[in-house]
Structure 1
């Protein structure tokens, strides 16, 4: 069996890769026992309640043990991998036994010289070494010898037990107060006086106290046992028709967040249908612009820019509700969240300081956000501190919806599908590109007037994109 010295083995614990996370699931191990690892090397991928994250090892060494298999959910702070950082191989078999024996040798040596050594230390003015705190330590325990002193102590103990009716009390425990007849009664009834609650004056144990100690306890009220209805047996036919998926990771966190948001913030949703024909033409023009070469240009880019412009015109919508401090927190920055559907569930990473980005910079940030989310590499930091969110349900062919606020935010804009529809344009019915927008907001922070202004501004920009210039 392989053995390792404690000093050469480092235990790598599951870190908190986000703020306040308590657990993570091990998705995949990239190493196995016996592999050599270096500082900064990724050893595994874990999924937290926010995202999938790769964990690097912080030191060099050889992997000795993986404490948990893939698919296991582990609490933060629990060791997940052991690494031997000694740089050599561990001792095995006889060599390990010999080392252990050598370590125990000093403790097994005769101790007859100990008193003389102690006197020498005291005489020379040095502090004597206390028992158990010497340089060499050992777990070896010796059986105490039975000498005359031991025999006398045992006889004294037996005599006190016979007289008191109970085992001797430790030196630091006060002796129970009781008269000899009461002690005799306690002995006859097998009652330990140290466990009896005294009721006499000055804490003296009475005969009634002893009898009460041996009285049977009052019967507990009988309650009807809870009726547990066992689940109906599932046949092979039924099992083949269902699949059960454990609720964990991103999906579990999303469910908890949505429940908390839906039942904490009073939601109001408003809708507007808008002609976005000019916006769609601008998208096609920007795709041919050299400044946008290699960048993702789509309607979402201009919708995001329109929302940022509306927030600039109506800054009070960019706020949060601090229940603990009973304050409304106005944000002077916009971290724009973009809801992204991934194989692990819906996540909402955000573009930091989106309000300060130019249109090409915003396009670049959107492209990076989407590609990172699809690869499952979104970091927890990218999903924290969002202020306002956009969710594009139109990519699924849906006209619109009533989105639920991302926790801690005041508004979320849902964008429906863009369809060619008959529309009255310049007094005539013409086919136009039309979409429906839905804005949900926290009615504690945003009243109907403010919410309507923001939604109307977004719609006006999408109908006439040149307003992005005049309203800048």
Structure 2
């Protein structure tokens, strides 16, 4: 049996068919161990680090950084003969086969089996969004001086390195190029990764599900007061409670009365699938584009558990470490466009879901309160909500009921006690 073992690009989950090679952690001649991280790839959903299924010496890298290849394509060959001889391990959950004794690579440390004295091969420590920024700016991370804790390269480090190479700002793309100069009037960026998947998904959603969008402006002054009370409680003090937490809670409560909002359309089986669980998607804008990770079984969580899950989801998405599992099997979504200072919009459905709620920015506005002789105008905290839904799964009455229930709970949080 040949000692040369080829490792093909695996399906890292959810039937993804291709991935881009972001960064190789090894070079030909390097010694690798089973489960040592050898490459970082970007799928249509997330950045993923792949471990080696073999121990031995790297003979060849078949794919260059920046190339996109299909699942099943050979990406690396490892020679398993010699002192590092070991039987190939099966990648089950990206871990070693039972019975193998291996070392895990320490995050931020050097790869096992790689000489420390080989700076040209050492992989700079940086988060995936920072790696993408460096790639976009044409900066080699090997030339960047890290300033982050533990020698981690930050976005600011990359920008400083880019400024050192290009001290002058580049002309805007719309500006005419100076006569005889090198200014560019256009810049072309390949459509791939998260951006391509988002385009495909949104196009399919727009032309498959008949969208209806309804709007309501809500006085959430009492919810904001409740937020202050909850934030002061001992068990919540380690968390930064966003108003999104309370909007999410209101949506989860409202779905109970309108279960049609938590369904899916199965065209092949000609069935409507009612989900008896809520995997709450939260649209997140990242350096890689828009992704929608979801909180599994969010409807079964306490307010504290939901707050912790939202915090973890946001931190993972920002760091570029959301995995395909995080973004699969969502049932209903919230998109918080208010973080951009936007009041409202008409959100497109996440494919396969029946409804999506857009939350606008919270503003202090004059509002009529009281009634009759007690009617007056007061400054109140208000927000606009926009609910888009699939008219095949929800009719106007059900969509209106869901949106009205969310608004009622946010206006009078005590309704959640009923």
SS at match of 1:457: helix
Which structure: greater helix fraction?
A: 1
2:342 corresponds to which residue?
398
CA contact (8 A) 1:296 1:364 kept: no
CA contact (8 A) 2:55 2:84 kept: no
Q: Which has the higher contact order (CA 8 A, sep 6+)?
A: 2
Matches within 5 A, 1:158-307: 240-307=184-251
The verdict on how the C-alpha distance between 1:238 and 1:274 changes in structure 2, with shifts beyond 3 A counting, is farther
How many angstroms apart in 1 are the aligned matches of 2:19 and 2:317? 18
CA contact (8 A) 2:223 2:411 kept: yes
CA contact (8 A) 2:35 2:52 kept: yes
Q: Across the two proteins, how many residue pairs are aligned to each other?
A: 322
1:424 corresponds to which residue?
368
The runs of 5 or more residues in structure 2 that have no matched partner are: 86-176
Matched, 1:444 2:388: no
> Which of these two proteins has the greater Rg computed from alpha carbons?
1
How many angstroms apart in 1 are the aligned matches of 2:180 and 2:194? 31
Encode CA deviations 1:350-388: one digit per residue, 9 max, x unaligned.
001111011100011111111110111100011111000
TM-score, normalization by structure 2: 0.75
How many angstroms apart in 2 are the aligned matches of 1:281 and 1:357? 22
How many angstroms apart in 1 are the aligned matches of 2:346 and 2:213? 6
1:134 corresponds to which residue?
none
CA contact (8 A) 1:317 1:411 kept: yes
TM-score, normalization by structure 1: 0.66
How many angstroms apart in 1 are the aligned matches of 2:209 and 2:62? 42
1:226 corresponds to which residue?
none
How many angstroms apart in 2 are the aligned matches of 1:322 and 1:236? 59
1:377 corresponds to which residue?
321
How many angstroms apart in 2 are the aligned matches of 1:236 and 1:324? 60
How many angstroms apart in 1 are the aligned matches of 2:246 and 2:37? 38
Matched, 1:70 2:14: no
CA contact (8 A) 1:296 1:366 kept: no
Decide which moves more: 427-436 or 27-36: 27-36
Out of 20, 23, 29, the position equivalent to 1:25 is 20
SS at match of 1:301: helix
Matched, 1:54 2:49: yes
CA contact (8 A) 1:42 1:57 kept: yes
2:32 corresponds to which residue?
37
Matches within 5 A, 1:2-151: 7-88=2-83
* 1:35 Cα deviation after fit: 1.7
* 1:411 Cα deviation after fit: 0.1
How many angstroms apart in 2 are the aligned matches of 1:8 and 1:24? 27
SS at match of 1:240: coil
After the TM superposition, list the runs of 4 or more consecutive aligned residues in structure 1 that deviate by more than 4 angstroms.
234-239
CA contact (8 A) 2:252 2:299 kept: yes
How many angstroms apart in 1 are the aligned matches of 2:270 and 2:289? 33
How many angstroms apart in 2 are the aligned matches of 1:467 and 1:82? 62
Give RMSD over aligned pairs.
1.7
How many angstroms apart in 2 are the aligned matches of 1:446 and 1:22? 32
* 1:89 Cα deviation after fit: 9.1
